[in-house]
Amino acid sequence: MKPGIYLDLPRAEYEAIDAANYSTLKLFEQSPAHARERMLHPTEPTDAMELGTAIHTALLEPEKFATQYIAAPTFDRRTAAGKAAWVEFESKHPGRNYLAPDEMEICVGIIKTIDENETARLLLRGEGRNEVSVVWKDEESGLLCKGRIDRFTVLYSWSVVVDVKSTASAYPIEFTKQSARMGYHVQAAFYMDGLRSLAPAERRYIILAIEKDRPYGISAMELDEQAVADGRARYRTYLKQYADAKRTGIWPGYPSGITPLSLPKWAQKDASYI
């Protein structure tokens, strides 16, 4: 795949591109050995991840959501009648992704909330392009890289990259913790630098955090320069580790040697009374 910005590349073709992406790079946070293990033996998607994918599809690919997802009635498949009812349901809806009734309610509720939130509506409902694939060569490491941008749009004359994240809490103080833990600042720096290498321009990167429980709270947040700079330093480290491992065939684990170990403050007993 040649470097470029691809507006209509199907997800299956994007995933088939042999290139470093954020999902791979973040595995190097623990060690190259752990990254390689996860790359060779990926974990199965959790129920939360599956719901997140459904929400993502409902917001950014509503036509696809309408044709590929359906709410499945609750059957007791421990009984013969329940098993038979489930087989009949599957036969009537082949190839569909099944959601529990409460999961479908979440997707529908979030869509409604988007339309009631001015900022979210401007980011997701105005002119723009969804599911844009970006492929670039990182000159420093020599690696081919890729990213899948949720949405390109324009907000108040600014070119904006929108990153949709479903979450337990979109309250900014709480979401900051999730953002740091999940490395969203690393992803932002990685995507923005890749875009800049292909099409130099001033852009903003806005995370649209959407709660998965009623009342489906929404917050639009923008990482500050310090966060992006930290993310850039981290992804550059990961890319170097990845390139070195591919070149040498050596995927090191934790550093050798003896590491000092201290108790965290919360585990230290208060001995002031002694």
Q: pLDDT of 69-90, one tens digit each?
A: 999 988 888 898 889 988 898 9
| pLDDT given for residue 126 in this prediction | 82
pTM higher than 0.85: yes
| pLDDT given for residue 270 in this prediction | 64
Strands of the chain (E only): list them.
4-6, 69-71, 97-99, 128-137, 144-155, 158-167, 203-211, 218-222
Q: pLDDT of 171-185, one tens digit each?
A: 999 999 999 999 999
Domains by residue range for the chain, with CATH: 4-48+101-248 (3.90.320.10)
Confirm if 242 and 142 have CB atoms less than 8 A apart. Answer: no
Residue 108: alpha-carbon gap to chain centroid: 21
Q: pLDDT of 35-59, one tens digit each?
A: 999 999 998 888 888 999 999 999 9
